[in-house]
Amino acid sequence: MIETLGIAALERVEASGRFARFFARVVSTSASSCGRRATYPLVWNQMNIIGVRSVPVIMITGAFVGMTLAIQAYDQLAGMGLEERLGVLINISVVKELGPVLAAVMLAGRIGGALTAELGTMNVTEQIDAIKSMGTDPVGYLVAPRVLACLLLTPVLIVYADFMGIVGGAFISIVQLSINSSPYWSFSASGIELWDVSVGVIKGFFFGAAIAVISCYKGFTCRQGAQGVGQACTEAFVASFISILALNFAMGVISKAVYNTLWQPKVLI
């Protein structure tokens, strides 16, 4: 029993060490890639795959988040006669938490899975070894462009999700629930600050980096065969999902502490 636990613990520590080394290599390689013009076409190509093609699904996600929040919160606020403040609740939830987190989760599924499957297949068919054998660093050629594309575009995609969440929430509140639009927008504008939007967007950099690094790592280290690639995709999504939630919590704590240090805590209602 103790031996089994010890072996399992050692394996975890070793796996963590391997991931830490990979992460450090990705950071240094990505940083140096920024200064090389040869990297730009690769990043541009990945931006198209990762960013542009994700816009529709991210916008749909954002819209449904806003609409669902409106439906769920209306009864509670209407019971207290505060239905005109529904916009504050919806929009601050969307821009600070639900928009970034759900957009990132959607990206982890759409992009993370694809990255792991692509790199995993390249790994098992020796294409990554082929890149190495031709004197090219596979981390620089394959991982850095994907990480940079995710890092740069996840915040942009979060803005799209936020926008559609706000539009979706307003649509249900004003059209479906017949809330007066003027107080709805005026309370929303007074309740949400640039800080709230910025926190959500800043989270995007961390979420994007986490999704890309974890997915690429799982692809690079996947076991042989179709089952190995499939398992790596599952592990990549689970690890990305947990990382997104953990990072969101950590950034929530940090942003709140920073806000409370700089300004007075605000009361929305």
Minimum Å gap between C-beta 38 and another protein is 8
**Residue (7 or 258) nearer to another protein, CB:** 7
Among 125, 180, 224, 234, binds another protein (CB under 8 A): 125
For residue 104, the tally of other CB atoms under 10 A from its CB is 31
- C-alpha to C-alpha distance for 218 and 267, rounded to whole angstroms: 44
User: Is residue 24 a contact point for another protein (CB under 8 A)?
Assistant: no
Question: Which of these segments, 1-9, 87-95, 97-105, 126-134, binds another protein (CB under 8 A)?
Answer: 126-134
Minimum Å gap between C-beta 10 and another protein is 12
Among 133, 178, 261, 264, binds another protein (CB under 8 A): 133
User: Is residue 126 a contact point for another protein (CB under 8 A)?
Assistant: yes
Six token digits for residue 187: 């309370």
**Residue (1 or 38) nearer to another protein, CB:** 38
Quote the distance between the C-alpha of residue 104 and its chain's center: 3
Minimum Å gap between C-beta 32 and another protein is 10
**Residue (32 or 180) nearer to another protein, CB:** 32
Among 72, 136, 176, 180, binds another protein (CB under 8 A): 136
**Residue (65 or 115) nearer to another protein, CB:** 115
**Residue (75 or 129) nearer to another protein, CB:** 129
Six token digits for residue 39: 């990297």
- C-alpha to C-alpha distance for 53 and 180, rounded to whole angstroms: 36
- C-alpha to C-alpha distance for 54 and 190, rounded to whole angstroms: 31
Q: 216-219: list long-range contacts, CB under 8 Å, 24+ apart.
A: 216/26, 216/115, 216/116, 216/119, 216/142, 216/143, 216/146, 216/147, 217/19, 217/22, 217/23, 218/116, 218/120, 219/115, 219/116, 219/117, 219/118, 219/119, 219/120, 219/122, 219/123
For residue 1, the tally of other CB atoms under 10 A from its CB is 5
**Residue (136 or 260) nearer to another protein, CB:** 136
User: Is residue 127 a contact point for another protein (CB under 8 A)?
Assistant: yes
Indicate the angle between helix axes 2-33 and 194-220, nearest 10 degrees.
Answer: 110
- C-alpha to C-alpha distance for 239 and 258, rounded to whole angstroms: 28
**Residue (124 or 157) nearer to another protein, CB:** 124
User: Is residue 137 a contact point for another protein (CB under 8 A)?
Assistant: yes
User: Is residue 110 a contact point for another protein (CB under 8 A)?
Assistant: no
User: Is residue 35 a contact point for another protein (CB under 8 A)?
Assistant: no
Q: Tell me the residue length of the chain.
A: 269
- C-alpha to C-alpha distance for 172 and 84, rounded to whole angstroms: 13
Minimum Å gap between C-beta 247 and another protein is 30
Question: Which of these segments, 16-24, 56-64, 107-115, 130-138, binds another protein (CB under 8 A)?
Answer: 130-138
Interface ranges with another protein (CB under 8 A): 125-127, 129-130, 132-137, 141
